[in-house]
A = this chain, B = another copy of it.
Amino acid sequence: MKFCSECAQPISKLVPAGDNRQRYVCVSCDTIHYQNPRIVAGTLPTYKGQVLLCKRAIEPRKGYWTLPAGFMENGETTEEGALRETLEEANARIQNPHLYTMIAVPHISQVHIFFQGELADLDFSCGPESLEVRLFDEVDIPWQELAFPTTSTTLRRFYSDRQQTIDNKQSPSLPTHVFDIPEKDKLKL
């Protein structure tokens, strides 16, 4: 940020009165330009223990596999954003989505939120940002070719939770998990 978006004068970086951190401030028109974390909303679409992944057609991490997800838009809910991204990237629909993982990624000021749900049908296909969309059995998941740590964290947790419900003969309802992605994983994001 170099210029004020309200009056076009050069911007300053300073701690405003009554605040305790540096902000982008316009000393001409007194506007404070706050910057805040962004939400990436997505889904973990499942089908009888298989998971749906998309091969990215765009940077960053072009050619790597990811869960369908993207930046949440103004005017929508987290769930609406997650379902919209799933439709845009994989032409897929899921049933009864529930909040599965919320993962803070503080070194890039993002929060990734994934809703899990069974696919409503198997009529999925590539959206413009995907090179390939397919279902994977656990043994076939390309762990070394996953795009982001939040993808692998969510997948690992899903198979861990699933094993536990099988071992304990519980109903397959999944809990909600809240994580952070530590700084050491930042190269993968």
Contact = CB atoms under 8 A, between A and B. Distances in A.
Contact of A34 (B39, B71, B78, B104): B71
A69 to B, nearest CB: 14
Given A37-B73, A72-B111, 17 more contacts: A2-B5, A2-B6, A2-B7, A2-B8, A3-B5, A3-B6, A3-B7, A4-B5, A36-B71, A36-B72, A36-B73, A76-B104, A76-B106, A78-B178, A80-B106, A98-B178, A176-B176
B111 A39 contact: yes
Q: Is the interface of A mostly helix, strand, loop or mixed?
A: loop
Interface residues of A, number: 41
Q: Quickly give the copy total for this chain.
A: 2
A38 B28 CA distance: 26
A8 B18 contact: no
A21 interface: yes
6 contacts: A1-B5, A3-B7, A5-B11, A5-B33, A76-B106, A78-B111
